[in-house]
Amino acid sequence: DAQRGAVIWQKHLGKDCGVEPPNWGLSGSPVVIGDLIVLNAGPYGTALRKQDGGLAWGGQKGPAGYASAVPYEQQGKSCAVILGHRELFGIVAATGQVLWKQPWTTMHDENIPDQIVAGDNLFVCSGHGTGAALFRIEPDKLVQLWSHKNLQNWLSSSALWKGHVYGVDTGKAKGVTCLDLQTGDVKW
């Protein structure tokens, strides 16, 4: 309760929902989409009902990623993109239906930074030599627009501002890097 701070409901995702946490535990933030709380938990996400914490969909055993779900709209539906254990995937928020999948692997399966959705574009970046990529979101797949290793976020998420992506590179540059979102060109 926001006024009193009293707990209205509480769920243990493992015991109550059957979710198996990844090696370093669940770390993505809960994301409210409509009447659901969408989590990067289980192989293809999990959603709980806001009112009572009941399981709406998901809850399967299997590894998850560490990033938060990122909401977006597709063909008039509220959706979310999730950077899972070894792939990116898009889901319909209301049902958990998987719309598309795209392999995305990192050393130690550390898919940690949150993705960025800008219109029908999806920016993703990971560390450990993986790098960054921009995809166009289509109804049933992602189309890669560019990919390189000039930005490798390991733990922190990038930020998008006025067509540029700013991130902390843990690769070659070892510092803050600015990319042009559309081309992937390093600005500085």
For residue 152, what pLDDT is reported?
A: 93
For residue 23, what pLDDT is reported?
A: 78
Residue 173 has pLDDT above 90, yes or no: no
**Could you give the CA distance from residue 148 to residue 50 in angstroms, rounded to a whole number?**
39
For residue 155, what pLDDT is reported?
A: 85
- How large is the average pLDDT for residues 44-52? 96
The three-point CA angle 173-113-32 to 5° equals 155
Q: What is the pLDDT of residues 147-166, one digit of tens each?
A: 999 999 988 899 999 999 99
Q: Which amino acid type is present at position 109?
A: D
The pLDDT-based confidence of 171 (bands split at 50, 70, 90) is: confident
For residue 56, what pLDDT is reported?
A: 97
| pTM, 2 dp | 0.92
- How large is the average pLDDT for residues 65-87? 95
For residue 26, which of 75, 82, 98 has the smallest C-alpha distance?
A: 82
Residue 168 has pLDDT above 80, yes or no: yes
Q: How far from chain centre, in Å, is Cα 159?
A: 14
**pLDDT > 70 fraction of the chain, expressed in percent and rounded:** 100
**Could you give the CA distance from residue 150 to residue 95 in angstroms, rounded to a whole number?**
37
